[in-house]
Chain A
């Protein structure tokens, strides 16, 4: 009896600690643009949301997609085109990009969820490559040049997004909404079923869940949120290019998630932050960024599969475990 109360006390203690850390994190993000270059921070936030969305599929449903660049880059194209060519306001552009990514996710997911493991990964890869070739050919993407000079406009006709702080807090808001949505999904009954599919798919089927529908729903949600990140990025950088739809981009988001910790809430954010920082540091040093990312990737898979945050959690769990024995 005494032991359970002790455990409960520990649990509520760690929950309080987690909330405190979240509050500190948000406060740090609010203060950050006064200390760091806002565009760099916004790049981090966009990729962090992208990685979190990807993690919803890989970490919580156990599906490895090699095609998430389609949603990220596709949404960036849709948003950039709507804002620049059609003159839509930024919020409508982001909505269109996100919706477009959802449709792409529905199509890709519809085909991919029919197969598992390596076959799932290869279907997503092949469809993503087809989308890439589509983007190379389609006139509205302007091929190699991409859509450049996208105006940021005024949010809801009021807030001038060309001001660095205005757009920063808009992006931060989108990021927080996106991450909160993922947190809600993961901790809902729906999320529990996703995790059960990850752990044991045949068991979930035998319990009566129509696994295919849940997988498709998770795929579309992940694609939608990845699209939200991509559309936002198009406004931040004011361009959309082929880079965002290549399979290297799909790989980059895998790396971010892997480095931070698959299946943890904070991991992809940490991973994205580290990768973006690394890219920015290396870009000025002359050392080829892509080779560095590839090498980190390999080292991660070889010796460091739980990722940074995953590793910390594992350490904490073992320390709790030994504490119980005392």
Chain B
């Protein structure tokens, strides 16, 4: 029973992180109608950026998150403005292919630049734990979870109440009407993609503190984000949070009852299952 409680806690902490990973993917998918297969590669880049900030400049990974997010936002904005805008109205087929090409390029650029070694961000408090009765909560994971929840709820409030957030939602619902109300789509698309990539970068920074980064984590993380976005729906960050928690708990249970190497297999299994049984998502509607 204690073990199960511990596993559930682990799953929830992991799930919060997963939610931030999927947040950017769901946003870009919902608004731009681009399923970004390079999303995981951007998470990986964010992780490396945080790692470099910590290792060479001594910036705490949590304090460095805004820097990572802003840099990644800039990268995403430029990519959308320069490259992806050319295909934003093209059939989904083309967007899949171009983001796949991007993922390959980013992965192998990272391999050249950072080598294929595992990297972990290890701040001084990485090993400390909080004991809650029989359950042990790792400090770094708890902090990552806290940041993840803040980001998700912040994103929800941003989309709901801010001027830009409303413009983004309006564009997702009806591009023509949004244009009539003065939304400039090219700028807005680039902002949305930038925010999506910025979130991916932040997720990468968090991932680096609780797990290991190598250049090849992208594909798996993209698939996980995709599964979560499907479970949670594209129109609501809170749905994504639930989706992340579901996947996190399923994965932790799999690791406990089936075996440590089957965690990733479980997430792909969940993806297939959800796509077959309920492709419209458990909570929301998908595009």
Q: Is the CB of B104 within 8 A of A248?
A: yes
A119 sits at the interface (CB 8 A): yes
Question: Is A298 a contact of B102 with CB atoms below 8 Å?
Answer: yes
**A130 and B83 form a contact (CB under 8 A):** no
The answer to whether A126 touches B223 (Cβ under 8 A) is: yes
- Does B87 sit at the interface, judged by CB under 8 A? yes
Shortest Cβ distance from residue B96 to the other chain A in the assembled complex, whole angstroms: 6
B279 contacts partner chain A, Cβ-Cβ < 8 Å: yes
A101 interface residue, CB < 8 Å from B?
A: no
- Let me know if A254 is at the binding interface, CB within 8 A: yes
Q: Are B276 and A122 in contact (CB under 8 A)?
A: no
Confirm or deny: B265 has a beta carbon within 8 angstroms of a beta carbon on chain A.
yes
Docked complex: B88-103 residues within 8 A CB-CB of A: 92-94, 96-98, 100-103
Are B276 and A64 in contact (CB-based, < 8 A)? no
**B223 partner residues in chain A, CB cutoff 8 A:** 122, 125-126, 129
Q: Could you say which residues of chain B place their CB within 8 Å of the CB of A184?
A: none
Residue of B at shortest CB range from A114?
A: B276
Q: Of A28-36, A206-214, A285-293, which binds chain B? A: A285-293
| B151 smallest CB distance to A (angstroms) | 25
Interface assignment of A111: CB less than 8 Å from any CB of chain B: yes
* Residue of chain A at shortest CB distance from B109: A291
Q: Is residue A305 within 8 Å, beta carbon to beta carbon, of the partner chain?
A: yes
Q: Name the segment of B160-168, B246-254, B266-274 touching the other chain.
A: B266-274
**A126, B108: Cβ atoms under 8 Å?**
no
Most buried by A among B86, B92, B262, B268: B268
Contact size range, A: 35 or more
Q: How far is the CB of B65 from chain A (nearest CB, A)?
A: 28
Question: In the complex, how many angstroms separate the beta carbon of B84 from the nearest chain A beta carbon?
Answer: 10
Within 8 A of B (CB), among A88-111: 111
Contact A115 B275 (CB under 8 A): yes
* Pairwise interchain contact A298-B101, C-beta atoms closer than 8 A: yes
Answer whether residue B35 sits at the interface, using C-beta atoms and an 8 A cutoff: yes
State which residues 107-134 of A face B: CB under 8 Å: 111, 114-115, 117-119, 121-123, 125-127, 129-130, 133-134
Considering the chains assembled together, what is the distance between the CA atoms of A302 and B103 in angstroms? 15
**Contact yes or no, A130 B268, CB < 8 A:** yes
Partner of A301, one of B101, B269, B279: B101
The reply to whether B112 and A288 contact each other, CB–CB distance below 8 Å, is yes
Partner pick for B226 among A114, A122, A258, A300, CB 8 A cutoff: A122
Q: Do B271 and A122 touch (CB < 8 A)?
A: yes
Please count how many residues in chain B sit with their CB below 8 Å of the partner chain's CB atoms: 36
**Contact indicator B104/A290 (Cβ below 8 Å):** yes
Assess the A127–B272 pair: CB atoms within 8 A.
yes
CB distance from B7 to the nearest CB of A (A): 21
Known: A247-B219, A291-B108, A302-B87. A119 touches B264 (CB 8 A): no
CB within 8 A of B102: which of A288, A293, A294, A300?
Answer: A294
Rounded to whole Å, the gap between the CB of A219 and the closest CB of chain B is 15
A237 within 8 A of B: no
Residues of chain B with a CB closer than 8 A to A251's CB: 100-101, 104
| B219 contacts across to A, CB distance below 8 A | 129, 247
Verify if B261 is at the interface (C-beta below 8 Å from A): yes
The closest CB in chain A to the CB of B106 belongs to A294
Contact A291 B98 (CB under 8 A): no
The reply to whether the CB of B122 lies closer than 8 angstroms to some CB of chain A is no
B94 contacts A288, C-beta separation under 8 Å? no
A162 within 8 Å of B by Cβ?
Answer: no
Interchain CB contact under 8 A, B97 and A301: yes
B94-A293 in contact (CB<8A): no
Cα distance A130–B279 in the bound complex, in angstroms = 19
**Pair B101/A64 contact, Cβ less than 8 Å:** no
A258 x B265 contact (CB < 8 A):
no
A117 to B33, CA, bound (A): 13
A123 to B268 CA separation, bound complex (whole angstroms): 9
Picked from B98, B100, B261, B279, the residue with its CB within 8 Å of the CB of A119 is B279
Q: Does A169 contact B (CB under 8 A)?
A: no
Given known A115-B276, A123-B272, A298-B102, contact A254–B97 (CB-CB < 8 A):
yes
B150 at the interface (CB under 8 A from A): no
Contact A123 B275 (CB under 8 A): yes
Cα A163 to Cα B96 with chains together (Å): 43
- For chain B, residues 233 to 264, give those with C-beta under 8 angstroms from any C-beta of chain A: 261-262, 264
Instruction: A255 to B268: give the CA distance in the assembly, Å.
Output: 24
**Complex: chain B residue closest to A64, CB-CB:** B93
A64 to B37 Cα, complex, angstroms: 14
A297 with B276: CB separation less than 8 A: no
Q: Which of A123, A136, A288, A298 contacts B108 (CB 8 A)?
A: A288
With beta carbons under 8 angstroms apart, the residue of A117, A255, A296, A302 that contacts B86 is A302
Once bound together, how far apart are the Cα atoms of A129 and B263, in whole Å?
12
Q: Which 4 A-B pairs have the closest CB atoms?
A: A297-B101, A294-B104, A294-B105, A298-B101
8 chain-A/chain-B pairs, Cβ below 8 angstroms: A126-B223, A126-B271, A130-B265, A136-B261, A254-B97, A254-B100, A290-B104, A298-B101
Chain B contacts to A: CB under 8 angstroms: 35, 83, 86-87, 92-94, 96-98, 100-105, 107-109, 112, 219-220, 223, 226-227, 261-262, 264-265, 268-269, 271-272, 275-276, 279
Q: Interface of A with B (CB < 8 Å)?
A: 64, 66, 111, 114-115, 117-119, 121-123, 125-127, 129-130, 133-134, 136-137, 247-248, 251, 254-255, 258, 288, 290-291, 293-298, 300-302, 305
